[in-house]
Amino acid sequence: MSTATVGNPATSTTRAGRREWLGLAVLMLPVLLVSVDGTVLTFAVPSITRALVPSGTELLWAVDVYPLVLAGLLITAGTLGDRFGRRRMLLIGAAGFGIASVLAAYAPDIRWLIAARALQGLFGAALMPSTLSLLRNLFLDRQQRRLAIAVWAAGFSGGAALGPILGGYLLEHYWWGSVFLVNVPVLAALLVVGPLLLPESRDPSPGRLDLVSVGLSLTTMLPVVYAIKTLATGEVSVTSVGAAVLGVASGITFVRRQLTHRDPLMDLRLFRSRVVSAAISANLLSIAALTGLLLITSQYLQLVLDVSPLDAGLLLVPGLVASVLAGLAAVPLAKVVPVRWLVVTGLLLGVAGYVVATRLGPDSDVAVVVLAFGLVAAGAGLSETLTNDAILTAAPPERAGQASAVSETAYELGTGLGVAVLGSVLGAVYTARLVLPAGVDGADATAAGTLGGAVDVADRLPGDTAAALTASAQDAFSAGMDAAAGIGAVVMVGAVVLVATVWRADRTPQDDPRG
């Protein structure tokens, strides 16, 4: 058994041994949990709609405040891990995430749930950069590290697809809050075995923490995403435009400060690499495609095709398997096929999946949903392994936390944008196309602002009126889903063009010659 000397690769044994692979198994616990929590709520949306009666906007916030807060804090958390210890940040994140999960499970109203989800995002940010940065220090051999990253990426994409399956089972047997309580025993196990199998690592010369840059990173990420969310629904207001202006101005100031500050929060030299820039873009867009489609198909299966939560989750198992297998297949394929073209292939699979999704209607066969999700999931699995490997390899070991945070920021921002943009487009088309039948009063009309709300209202109406409302709501939702899928396909085509034209090997000593 070999043990790497963390933080000093020049004097370390190159090949990882049993302890390192056991350490990877431990790191998969938070990876699975955080990715599951990013999507598990999408399948609980109908149950939460009935229990907490949120507005359409509140419902979207409950789904995507978690990945957005997580994305906003990842850069800071990655830097803190480099400075104060990556294992320490991992364990702090695990404890806090468990507490936040309990608060979410027992939320008495939608605002409480949104706050608890935000708290999960805060501690999830402490968890995630540590997993990938510790992996970078555990596996020094390039081929072993690529395999380890394939397993890590499979955990991310697999966890994203596992969320609805787990959620479907729990919602069949328990109340909606149970989807959060499953986190607690797993995090407790991580707190016990983590210190035993994971070595501590940190940057030996981290410099001073720039609190101004920390603030600027937050005032860049959150306002921009909020603006995208609100503007996508057609809501042009002083608040949404002001948020966009604030985010852009903060982003410009942040970049300038990083370029001139003695101890920058983020080393922007990473972005000089064309490979890294293209990899980050592909990373973000492939995950946006996966989570965006997951949001709309999970509701479509339950509320349009009338599939039970558990059966709907099981229908996504082929996508889960395809994602994991594609990620693992990337390792041997990268030895014989240029990495750029493998990433392009993954993105093209996403395009194909969204094209299939545009054919969904009120009476479509479930096989069409399975095919669409499977194509997008396989593409995400293939792309994620290779893009994360490219980003992490470009960074020196002492900056592993920053590189991990960049990669995971792209992942989480993609998760938030996929939900926000496609969910908002879906909601806007649904509202525009919904025709309320005679006999629906003002209060019921407000409740019917979401498909779940319309189904709930229909249960309280006379037979003919209920049937008319349900049919109208399902038709409107299907139209919104087709529009969202069409936009998703166009965006993925743009990602294909970007990667094909920008991704070029930088030919540094660390680069894979097949990159």
- In terms of average pLDDT, the best of 197-206, 266-275, 448-457, 458-467 is 458-467
Residue 106's pLDDT is what?
Answer: 93
The mean pLDDT value for 466-484 works out to 87
Q: Cβ(266)–Cβ(258) under 8 Å?
A: yes
Q: Which fold has domain 16-197+265-502?
A: Growth Hormone; Chain: A; (1.20.1250)
What pTM does this model have? 0.73
Predicted local confidence at residue 399, as pLDDT:
64
- Which pair of tokens denotes residue 430? 């649904």
pLDDT confidence of residue 446: 63
Q: Of 144 and 504, which is predicted with more confidence?
A: 144
How many Å apart are CA 401 and CA 396, to the nearest integer? 10
Tokens, residue 487: 């936009």
Residue type, 123: F
How far is it, in rounded angstroms, from Cα 45 to Cα 31? 23
Q: Rounded to the nearest 5 degrees, what angle is found at the Cα of 33, between the Cα atoms of 166 and 319?
A: 50
Helix orientation angle between 211-232 and 238-260, rounded to the nearest 10 degrees = 150
E runs forming strands in 331-402: none
Whether 64 and 420 have beta carbons less than 8 Å apart is answered as yes
- Greater model confidence, 161 or 324: 324
For the chain, the helix, strand and coil percentages under 3-state DSSP, each to the nearest 5: 80, 0, 20
* Among candidate residues 313, 291, 292, the one with its CA nearest the CA of residue 166: 313
Provide the angle, in degrees to the nearest 10, between the axes of the packed helices 110-138 and 142-173: 160
Average pLDDT, the chain: 80
Tokens of 508: 């540094």
| Structure confidence at residue 85 (pLDDT) | 83
Helix extents (H) in 85-173: 86-105, 110-138, 142-173
Q: How far is the C-alpha of 75 from the C-alpha of 401, rounded, in Å?
A: 8
- List the domain boundaries for the chain: 16-197+265-502, 210-264
Token pair 């407000």: residue: 446
Residue 494, CA atoms < 13 Å, CB-side half-sphere: 10
Name the pLDDT band for 512 (thresholds 50, 70, 90).
very low
**Residue position matching structure tokens 């292939």:** 345
Is pLDDT at 7 greater than 50 in this prediction?
A: no
- Ranked by mean pLDDT, which of 109-123, 138-152, 375-389 comes out on top? 109-123
**By mean pLDDT, which of 336-350, 370-384, 392-406, 445-459 is the weakest?**
392-406
pLDDT tens digits along 330-363: 888 988 888 889 999 999 999 999 999 998 888 8
> In 236-325, which ranges are E strands?
none
309-313 contact pairs (CB < 8 A, 24+): 309/43, 309/46, 309/47, 309/167, 309/168, 309/169, 309/171, 309/172, 310/168, 310/169, 310/171, 310/172, 311/168, 312/43, 312/164, 312/168, 313/43, 313/164, 313/165, 313/166, 313/167, 313/168, 313/169
Of 121-130, 195-204, 309-318, 368-377, which one has max mean pLDDT? 368-377
Q: 3-class SS at 85?
A: coil
Question: Highest mean pLDDT: which of 290-304, 401-415, 482-496?
Answer: 482-496
Q: Is the dihedral of CA 295, 301, 302, 308 positive or negative?
A: negative
Q: How confident is the model at residue 68 (pLDDT cuts 50, 70, 90)?
A: confident
